[in-house]
Chains A and B, each alone.
Chain A
Amino acid sequence: MFDFSIFTKWLDALMLSVMPEWLTLIIECVLVALGIITLYAIFAMVMIYVERKFCAFVQCRLGPDRVGPWGTIQVVCDVLKMLTKEIFSPRKTDRFLHGLAPFLVITASMTTFACLPWNKGAQILDFNVGVFFFLAVGSIGVVGILLAGWSANNKYSIIGAMRAGAQIISYELSIGITMLTMICLAGTMSFSEICQAQADGGWFIFRGHIVAVAAFILYLIAGNAECNRGPFDLPESESELTAGYHTEYSGMDFGYYYLAEYLNLFICAGMASTIFLGGWAPFVIPGLDGFNEIMTMIPGFVWFLGKVFFVLFLLLWERWTFPRLRIDQILKLEWKYLVPISMVLLVLMALCVSFGLTF
């Protein structure tokens, strides 16, 4: 498995040899930021295309197929349209908060995006409390959503924002507990160490067997609710609230929410593949050396993206199957079902780990 940190260390050493340390740091920061933003934009476009195609196929349609081969240029056109639209904010809005809200959402989304382990050694944010950091930064997004609803001075926006608040804060609980279940198994909160442990000893979803599979499903449900998607798209339920909390946004301000929504989905899938499916760790079966060698030859980022798109498939499949829940049903699902079950799973996992019942 190629270690990407060899390349970054070489680059770092090369720049240090010709320029002072502070300049190296600045250049590296800019490069990393450019990398994040580029990947962010590319993946947002890919996701939008995938989602539109998938939803079309579920509904027995073909989806976009007019612009470019199989409609692949359609998303580019949509992005250009979004970029050229007027940014408009209605009278009687709280201008400052109205302008600030999308940036909070996009910042939260981009920072969590930077936590994803793309390859061995190719991780932007990695430290010993990575999972904790991920959860903490991820919840800034809800502040942006609440501000968007509040500042717009619009009943639909505020209803959507309140729903989003109630829903996201509730579901963060079960996300946290399911992640804790897996941390229990991993024994570390650092994403790189979690991935390394899975590369050395097998994916956690296999090592944690039944409990891990249950936690995986629970994580997918809660993650979907965190992204305001699927059956949990109440905050923007377009049939009742026009567009929910981003009703009063236009142009790229709206585009930020749109981007963040899709990227949050990507991040949710990325986290699921990191803590359950091994991140960049290849699929190996102990004993089959020839097979394992071939699997190890596939680069890590291909593994990671493959897993992410597999989880994305599950999320999209579920999103285009189930009808929207009501707000009381959403809260009932969380507080009466997901939280108790995830707590039971946490206890079970702790028992499994302490009695050595994991693989």
Chain B
Amino acid sequence: MANKTYFAGLVGGIKSLCTGLGVTFRELWTPKVTERYPENRKENIIPERFRGTLVMPHNENNEHKCIGCGICQMQCPNDSIEVVTEMVETEDGKKKKILKQHIYDQGKCMYCMICTRACPQGAIEFAPEYECAVFDRQALVKTLNQPGSKCAEKPKPAKPAAPAAPAAKPAAAEPNGAAPAATPVAPAADDKKAKMEAAAKKAEENAAAAKAAAEEALKAAEAAPEDAALKAAAEEAQAKAAKLATVAANFQKKLAEM
């Protein structure tokens, strides 16, 4: 206002004040965001990604996905997870580690979600449960696996189904085989860094190839919009490309850490 003349400043000021008044007047009539909590607990929608409490989903056969590897326990910065396992002998004579108890102390948890990210099986996840208050601290210590549950048999790896997309098929199928081959290289090698670099490079190539394939599949699908199979194939190829891109990014990250 200093470099304006007296009247220009006055008129400009009044204009801007009126703009502000207009904004608040409109805001008076907008729907309000207040949640009336105890009354609305039935219809209260908690966002899916809300980190309420850690759960281990079980399917209808009382099976979970946990293999008892204990990675979550090792990763947990607060020591809030304890994985109790035992060794059993399977029918074909192999020794196998199975989960006995997955103990989660919610009182210690800081909801960082490292455990769910670290889990190789996707066995644990955060549920949007929010009424977690209890009177006794011991009540916060929960056993996540249900009594009598067992680990689900691993389903067969899904085949890349792209029957009607000839352009997408070869490209999309190839990285599927290559990426798992690259993964086990990293931890076992002596010359870690070199191998890691190779693996990262390969993963990136895979990702690029998958991306190209996905784009081609998408084009094919767009050219024939009535063909549902083509569309499905394109979507699948896209999903694969995204997954491989994450794998590649992970490799890069690990490489940067080394």
Q: Could you tell me which A residues sit within 8 Å of B by CB distance? A: 56-62, 65, 317-318, 320-322, 336-337
Contact = CB atoms under 8 A, between A and B. Distances in A.
B27 A58 contact: yes
Contacts of A320: 24
The prevalent SS among residues of B at the interface is: helix
A318 B33 CA distance: 22
Given A317-B25, A337-B10, A61 B20 contact: no
A59 B27 CA distance: 7
Contacts of B34: 56, 61-62, 65
Q: Which 8 A-B pairs have the closest CB atoms?
A: A62-B34, A321-B24, A321-B20, A62-B32, A61-B34, A58-B24, A57-B28, A60-B33
B45 interface: no
B32 A65 contact: no
B13 to A, nearest CB: 8
A60 B17 contact: no
A98 B36 CA distance: 42
B30 A60 contact: yes
B23 interface: yes
Contacts of A337: 10
Nearest to A59: B27
Interface string B18-43: 00110111011010111010000000
Listed residue (B24, B27, B32) with the most chain A CB atoms within 10 angstroms of its CB: B24
Nearest to B17: A322
B32 to A, nearest CB: 5
20 contacts: A56-B32, A57-B32, A58-B24, A58-B27, A58-B28, A59-B27, A60-B27, A60-B32, A60-B33, A61-B32, A62-B34, A65-B34, A65-B36, A317-B25, A321-B17, A321-B20, A321-B23, A321-B24, A322-B17, A337-B10
A75 B10 CA distance: 40
Given A60-B33, A62-B34, A317 B21 contact: yes
A61 B10 contact: no
B225 to A, nearest CB: 42
B21 A321 contact: yes
Given A59-B27, A60-B27, A321-B17, 11 more contacts: A56-B34, A57-B27, A57-B32, A58-B24, A61-B33, A62-B32, A317-B24, A317-B25, A321-B21, A336-B6, A337-B10
A65 to B, nearest CB: 7
Interface in B150-205: none
Contacts of A59: 27
